[in-house]
Structure 1
Amino acid sequence: MLRRLSVLLLLVRMFVKSQMEYRGAFWLDRLAQIISYGAVLLGMWILLQKFELLGGWNWPELALLFSFQLLAYALGASVSFTQLRDLEELVRLGTLDALLTKPINTWAYLIFSGLNIGYAGHIILAIPVLVWALLAAQVEWSIGNALFFAGSLLSATLVTGAVITMIGAIALIWVRSNHLFSIFFGFWELTRYPLNIFPGGIQAVMLTVVPLAYISAVPVAVLLGKPVPLLGDFAAPAALLAGPLLVLVAVTHWRYALSRYQGAGG
């Protein structure tokens, strides 16, 4: 067990060194990320200057929603998105066959050999905005709320990684899966806004079929003491359990997809 862990840590260290080989270019990319997401945040601020409230949410509350979503996504996607997006190409070219012969878990090898530190820009922007928003939104802190905040952030991170893993694993069956990420990001962008501003059908989809509401809308609403459509009093436990449950589903789906993989020769 310790030997395998040391191998995984070595893979991470090697990949990080390769990413930091051109440090100037790396940090310029991070700056571009910060400017890009900062522009989105600025657009939300301008919108709130005009309308004051959006679905009953004021500016600090929307900033909290945005920063929570961005941080949870960055943490979850750093250990899943690039790696699972590239899985389609590995399957198409037959490169995955070589990975299956390695004496290590295939999923773990994919994840740790491509740990994406490129999400540093997301995190650098998200954390200060999150701290400011928590103070400005006047969240009533208690031991219970602090534990819920930490637990729901972890759960939201797991939701991100689990959903991306399930999408990427489809390539093991159908060869093609990257087109599904367009659907993922379409719904992901909606999670920057309160769930109650959307029609009931979209709310139901984001809580079930594409459960991305648990990345931000549900946990932040609970933290602020706002009602959550469809979930009601079950919103808090749902926010905490969504991540672990989806991880179990993702593990099952990954194993099933891997069992259906036929190799480059068909």
Structure 2
Amino acid sequence: MSETFISAGRFRGRVVVVTGAAGGIGGAIVARAAGEEATLVASDRKPDGENVVAAVLGNRNPQWSYVDADLGDEDGSARLVEHALDRFGRIDVLINNAGGGIIRDFLEHTGESRKETVDRNLWTVVNCCTAALPSMRESGYGRIVNVGADSVRNGLFQHAMYNAAKGGVHALTTGLAREFARDGITVNTVAPTGTTTPYVLSRPPDAVERFAKNEALIPMGRFASTAEVASAVLYLASEEASFITGQVVSVNGGSTML
């Protein structure tokens, strides 16, 4: 996304935690947050995740730190939050972007693949919120933005198990938003349609047909860019969105409406 869309200094003085930071959408979120002067704590499970984040940040050189953690595990999410608090003293923004679907026909899932799908996409969010909310409540300020999925709303091909997990994220959003509304904390979800991540751009042979079916549902005739998704995430994470909470905002080219 053009730098003209970046509000310089919008996150100056704010500590922003981004999970799944070494992925396509996560990288776009990190790059934009850095461009808006956030102090960043990035987390991912990829073996080379820290190097990937460093490459994304390039010469922006924000104050940042990295935590390698399995956030589907309570200890991993607690360690991420403790690191942020120990290093920077507080958490202003939590962006729950970690996830990743095992996309297949429902009856082809195994017990292991069902559990992994829920662990990656729902428990990561539950665990990170559980760990971060006490400090946000104590400070009287917080922005939580979850990355959900537009497929929850349109029943996308082969997405039943993934939708079960992401649908839990959407539901958690509304419950937390109401519970913490008087604590200065907003909770929202951005639900992207298909997005041109590096995986999608690689056109894996076993997914090309699925991508074509998904794209055919989008009136604009294309997938979202990672920058378009990041733009919505960072708006909801900002002080500008102070009266928006409990919402699922789709970035979907019209794939679902209203």
TM-score by length of 2: 0.33
The structure with more strand, counted as a fraction of residues: 2
Q: Which has the higher contact order (CA 8 A, sep 6+)?
A: 1
Report the structure, 1 or 2, having the larger helix content.
Answer: 1
- Provide the TM-score with structure 1 as the length reference: 0.32
